[in-house]
Amino acid sequence: MIDLSHPIFTGMTVYPGDPEVRVREVLSVAADGVAVSELHLGSHAGTHIDAPSHTISGGRTIDQVPLDALSGDALILHLADRVTARAGIDSAMLGLDAFESVPAIVAICTGWDRHFGDDLALQHPFVTVEAAERLWQLGMRVLAVDTLSPDRTAIGEGTAGGDTAGDPDPLPVHSVVLGRGGTIVENVRGLDALGERARIGIFPLPLRGADGAPARVVAWTDADR
């Protein structure tokens, strides 16, 4: 079993404009007989799932996404040796012409998780709309990435500012996937430890009515795959 989730800690990297993460001790074993921490974080902190309601009015909330849709065989597309900062990832780069179909879960390994927490985190490569459309046509319903977003991240104060402010749709891949009832998993890490195929489980916090939730993402690998 391989843990594909970033630990949650005070001051960790978040998407521009999201609530900052704070974890603090409010009770201690020495003083109170038990240890209890207080958590302050957004629904999209760390490794997390975007439910359709994140960008789609009336879309499913995270507690309406069944767990069996978030577990199963996954295709891992490895691109770490070919991606560059702020560059698009299209179908040709993903090698999608070689597939007649793909599993419901597809994870894209860019290797950018190594920059989580540094200045390059916001400069990640992104998935093109054409590639997202093709993946959906091939059968993908859960898109996992090891970056802050499958879309280009805005540089500035929140998604309303920065260099995506003039785009007609600053989150086009979200529109493709979430708009059709799929889900997106962001800030996965350690995909380079997997082969082309793995069995993956994505387990979000059951936040009632929420647009997303932090998740524990794990992979089971088999030697014969």
Q: In angstroms, rounded to a whole number, what is the distance separating the alpha carbons of residues 33 and 170? A: 49
pLDDT for residue 160: 45
Position 117 pLDDT exceeds 90: yes
Position 161 pLDDT exceeds 60: no
Mean pLDDT (the chain, rounded)? 94
pLDDT (tens digit, 9 = 90+) per residue, 206-222?
Answer: 999 999 999 999 999 76
Position 158 pLDDT exceeds 90: no
**Residue 31, helix vs strand vs coil:** helix
Q: In angstroms, rounded to a whole number, what is the distance separating the alpha carbons of residues 85 and 204? A: 29
Give which of 138, 53, 65, 134 is closest to 104, Cα–Cα.
Answer: 138
Cα–Cα separations (whole angstroms), residue 186 to 44, 144, 215, 222: 8, 6, 10, 24
Position 223 pLDDT exceeds 90: no
Q: In angstroms, rounded to a whole number, what is the distance separating the alpha carbons of residues 126 and 149? A: 7
Q: For residue 141, what pLDDT band results from cuts at 50, 70 and 90?
A: very high
DSSP states of 105-131:
EEEEE-SGGGGTTSGGGGG--EE-HHH
**Residue 103, helix vs strand vs coil:** coil
Question: By percentage, how much of the chain surpasses pLDDT 70?
Answer: 93
> Is the CB of residue 173 less than 8 Å from the CB of residue 151?
yes
Question: By percentage, how much of the chain surpasses pLDDT 90?
Answer: 91
The fold of the 2-220 domain, in CATH, is: Glucose Oxidase; domain 1 (3.50.30)
- In this prediction, residues 34-44 reach a mean pLDDT of 98
- In this prediction, residues 188-195 reach a mean pLDDT of 97
Give which of 150, 155, 148 is closest to 140, Cα–Cα.
Answer: 150
